[in-house]
Every structure is written in C-alpha cells, then in structure tokens.
Structure 1
Amino acid sequence: MSATAPGVVVVGDLATDVVVLLEGDPAPGSDRPAAIRTRGGGAGANVAVHLARLGTPVTFAGCVGDDAAGAGLVAELAAAGVTPAVRTVAGAGTGTIVSLVEPDGQRSMLADRGANLALAPADVPTPAPGGHLHLSGYALLDPAPRAAGLAATAAARAAGCTVSVDPASTGPLAGYGVERWLVDTAAATLVLPNEAEARLLTGCADPAAAARALAARYPVAVVTLGAEGALWAAGDGLVHRPAHPAAVVDTTGAGDAFTAGLLSVWLAHPDGDPVAALEAGLAEAAAVIGRPGAR
C-alpha cells in the first residue's frame, strides 16, 4: 500500500467509453444509423470526476495501458480536478467499454477491462485519517484486482476512514458469489446497490425489504430505484426520495453520478439528514441521463 492521500480515494476502472446511440433496433447482418461518441469512462473514474466537480478533494487509483488512450484519460482526470494515482502497465491496453444505447435510453455494455485487471495493492494510496475510500465493485469481481480491493479496504478501516462500495453489476456479482461479496465488504460503512443488485444480495423481492436487510449488515444502505428514485436505510429508519424529472437520453453512468452526489453531502455532514444526501445524488443522476455519456 502506498502513501496516504487526503480527502477521498476512489479505487476502480479507468476506460475509454464508446457510446453508441442507436436510432432504432439493431439490424443483424445489415446497417443501422447511430450517433457514436468517444469519451472518458470507467465506473470508478466517473465517480471521481463527479466528486471533483462538486468540490470534494479526490484521488483516483487505477491502471491504464502504455498507449495514447491511457495517457489521454489520465490527462482528462487531472483537467477535471482529480489527483491521478494511475499506474501505466507495460504491454497492456487501456480498458474500453462499448455502450449500446437504445432509443428509450436503456443500454447494454461490452467491456474489455484491459489494464484495469492489473491493479495491485501497492497502486492504492490509503486515505488520510478521517478520509474516505470508495471502492467500485469491479475491483472485487475479478481475481486479479481483488487483492487490491481487499487491501485498500483493510488499510482504510485501520486508518479510521469510512468506506463505501457499490456491487457493480448483477451478472459478474452472481458469478463471483453473493456470500463471498458480503464477506469481502463486511467492513464497509455504506453500500450502494441498485434495485436488481439489492435483490440479488438479499433474496428480497421488495426493494424496501432488501434495503432493510442490507442495513442489518452495514451501517448505511442506499438502494437506487431508477425512475422511482432511491432508498436510504440505516438502523430502523427508511427514507425514500423520488427521482428528479429528466428527459432520458442515456442512462450510462447515472449510478456513478448518484454515488458522487450522495457522497459529497454525506461526507461533509455524516450525521446530517439523509434526505439532503439522497437529493444531491438524484440531482446528479438526472443531469447525467439528460445527455450522452457517463460524465
């Protein structure tokens, strides 16, 4: 584990997002008009960029390949106000994610994680005492970077820091194993699943019941519900806030934006009203889904 860093340390993937806005259903064996945009992405990096824009001091820890794409992504982080703690992996390619966005805003993602899979414990700085670690679940769901995620969590808790973690995605999470994930994240202060992930983690069909079940394991559980808003569960309390109105263009990165908005308020006022934290997260999510791309 490397030296300490101030504020928030985000651990996760840094990648090139190729966003494909489809004008209709895919046409196998033929052509379909689409608007295609390339920009910076990666779940962890998205959270870091949004936090920086909200004025939260943030360091991003991750890996890129020794290519022009990697150098560009690191420069983009720095320009956004993020402190990069990014290792260049010789011989590896920078991660790339292709997001196919349907006309209703829903998307399918094709991921080549590339150099992100080389993340090692020494790549992750420990937050300064009183700081915060946010761990993107993708860092746990592959055997290679899992050691870095576990080491980062242990070091942060030993330093007296709070820890948040999101489960990342239901498919990889199911393959990884629910009980294994729950054990790996037992030291987390805050978990941030979406509705499908919360159901998978708890076996509860009702999202409120799932949020309560997670709050029995973690100090705080926040479950995002898409168009229905979000739930905050802590102890015996349960708070719901509706989503902010938005014209849906692209849902890519909405969860990352929500995480950053919520963390920016919760970290500044950890004993404050959860409504304010939820509202900040929902405002960030609404802004992101109204435009193409995750940032």
Structure 2
Amino acid sequence: MTARPAVLVVGDVNTDVVAVLSGAPAPGSDRPARIRSHGGGAGGNVAAHLARAGLDVVLAGCVGDDAEGTARLAELAAAGVRARLRVVPRAATGTVVSLVEPDGQRSMLADRGANLELVPGDLPSPVPGGHLHLSGYALLDPRPRPAGLAALARAAAAGCTVSADPASTGPLAAYGVDRWLADTAAVTLLLPNAEEAALLTGCADPVDAARTLAARHRAVAVTLGPDGALWAAGRAVVHRPAHPAAVVDTTGAGDAFAAGVLSVWLRDRGTDPVHALDAGLALAAEVVARPGAR
C-alpha cells in the first residue's frame, strides 16, 4: 500500500452559526429558523475530513482566547487532527453566520477574528515530500498573507505537493486575479468552483476554464454544484455527476469535496481521476444533507 503522506493544512478555524430558514422572507417581522452552532472554517473543515479519512494531518491557524476557541480545539482533537493553533490574547475566534434558504443555498456573514492574526511563525515545518493544503483565505487579506506566502515557499523548498482553493469570488476579485495567479504558480492541484474558475480565466464555459487552469497547474478539480465536478490535466477533461442528496445546507460542501478528492489523490498520485472526483462528490453529498460543514 502506498504510504500516506503527512498533510499540513493552513487556514481558518471558525464557529459556524447556521440558521436554516423556513417560510417566506418577512422583512420587519419574524421568520422561523432552526439555529445551531458547529465547528467550521475552510482550514478546520478540510483538516477534520482528512483526519477522519485516516491521513496524518497537522492544522496551522489561530483561535481566540475564548470559549469558542477552546471548543474548536477540542473538536479538532476529537476528529484526530494535530492542531497547531495559536491562541491569540484578547481576540475572538472567527465566526461565520450562515443563512440557509429552504432550497439549501446560503449567504454568509463573516467575522474572521483571530484568523487574521496568522503569521509565518505560526507555521510548522512541512514534512519533506509531504503535502500542503492552503485555504485561499490565508492570502486574501494583507495581515495573514505573509503566512500564506511563507507556507507556499516552504512547501516548495521541502519538495511537497500543494493544493489550494481560491476561497471566494468577492475577496478574490478584490485581491486581484493576476496577483493570485502569481502567488499560486507552484500549486500542484487547484480546487476552484465554477465561478472562481471563470473569474481566474475569463472563460464562461467551465470546461474551457478548467483547461486554461490546467495549463498552469498539474491538475485542476472544478466543482459545478448540482452538475458534479470536472478534473482537468493537460488538455484532458473528465466529468463526473453529482451524487444524489437531499440538500439541507450547502455550507462546507466545497471543503468536503476538496478533502474527499485529496483523500484519494494523496494515497496514489497516479489514480484514475474518476475515483478522486467520486470521493469528493460523495463526501460533499453527505455534508449538504445535514446542517453544518462537517
């Protein structure tokens, strides 16, 4: 059996407050909702899923010196993650409020809190020949950006493969496409959704966007929501349909897809991309069928 590489995940750790709404919008009045708090954050989600899949995972990030930070640390430890999270004095742990419509689509209100305090000194050394997964949020704000760049540089020096997700179209557009492409030139596996792929390439068609990105990276996996996902390497493109799911909450679906893909791809870099895509789509289908990102 192929050895399982050590994985360093760098990214946000949050508390997700998920409000699953029911009924029609009621401006100025009350609207019924089911509200729950869960562990979240792109870094925390991917790390937890990978650890549950049996990989050796270290998570680097920051939490606040509050009850939420303590709870997130305990959650991640229970999932099998080796958390290297600096507790930032007088800072609040990141919080995202997710408003989920009856069809499962959501809008998010983000307070990144202590996540913005990430610095290069928070990063453990990558295992030579291991893997770095970088959440794009680590690059998209000027405060943690030096840490994100340091993670990429250290991974390259250690001969690691690297995966990255572009995070979100709004902050990505504000950050600048050209700057993102330059910063992430050494990424081995890029994991955008269709909107992010279109923004990065200017291609409206997801297949064209995937091929364009695959000219820059060894492989690209593009999520298409209910239409499944694409894998592009060179000029070859593989499509797989989404797995059936009764959608309750799409929060964390992209993180679950990324972890599912990585759980297969990291075990056998020569694997058939169909297996990697199916693993990602299966895990995403599990996550969207319940409230919360994990």
TM-score by length of 2: 0.97
CA shift digits 1:143-201 (9 cap, x unpaired)? 00000000001001100000000000000101110011000101110110000000000
Aligned to 2:292: 293
Aligned to 2:280: 281
Displacement over 2 Å in runs of 4+: none
Report the Cα distance in structure 2 between the residues aligned to 1:249 and 1:20, rounded to whole angstroms: 11
1:14–1:42: 8 Å Cα contact kept in structure 2? yes
Letter in 2 for 1:94: T
Report the Cα distance in structure 2 between the residues aligned to 1:270 and 1:122, rounded to whole angstroms: 30
Aligned to 1:41: 40
Give how far 1:24 is off: 2.3
1:25–1:102: 8 Å Cα contact kept in structure 2? no
1:149 counterpart SS class: helix
Kindly indicate whether residue 116 of structure 2 is the aligned counterpart of residue 117 of structure 1: yes
Letter in 2 for 1:173: L
* Aligned counterparts, 1:58-137, within 5 A: 58-137=57-136
Aligned to 2:16: 17
Bigger Cα displacement from structure 2, 49-58 vs 22-31: 22-31
Give how far 1:91 is off: 1.2
Report the Cα distance in structure 1 between the residues aligned to 2:148 and 2:78, rounded to whole angstroms: 26
Report the Cα distance in structure 1 between the residues aligned to 2:231 and 2:84, rounded to whole angstroms: 31
1:213 counterpart SS class: helix
1:194–1:223: 8 Å Cα contact kept in structure 2? yes
Kindly indicate whether residue 215 of structure 2 is the aligned counterpart of residue 216 of structure 1: yes
Kindly indicate whether residue 146 of structure 2 is the aligned counterpart of residue 147 of structure 1: yes
Across the aligned residues of Structure 1 and Structure 2, the Cα RMSD in angstroms comes to 0.8
Instruction: Note the residue ranges of structure 2 that are not aligned, 5 or more in a row.
Output: none
Give how far 1:25 is off: 3.3
Report the Cα distance in structure 2 between the residues aligned to 1:25 and 1:68, rounded to whole angstroms: 34
- Give % identity: 73
1:163–1:188: 8 Å Cα contact kept in structure 2? yes
Report the Cα distance in structure 1 between the residues aligned to 2:236 and 2:158, rounded to whole angstroms: 28
* Aligned counterparts, 1:148-163, within 5 A: 148-163=147-162
Instruction: Note the residue ranges of structure 1 that are not aligned, 5 or more in a row.
Output: 1-5
1:244–1:283: 8 Å Cα contact kept in structure 2? yes
Aligned length: 290
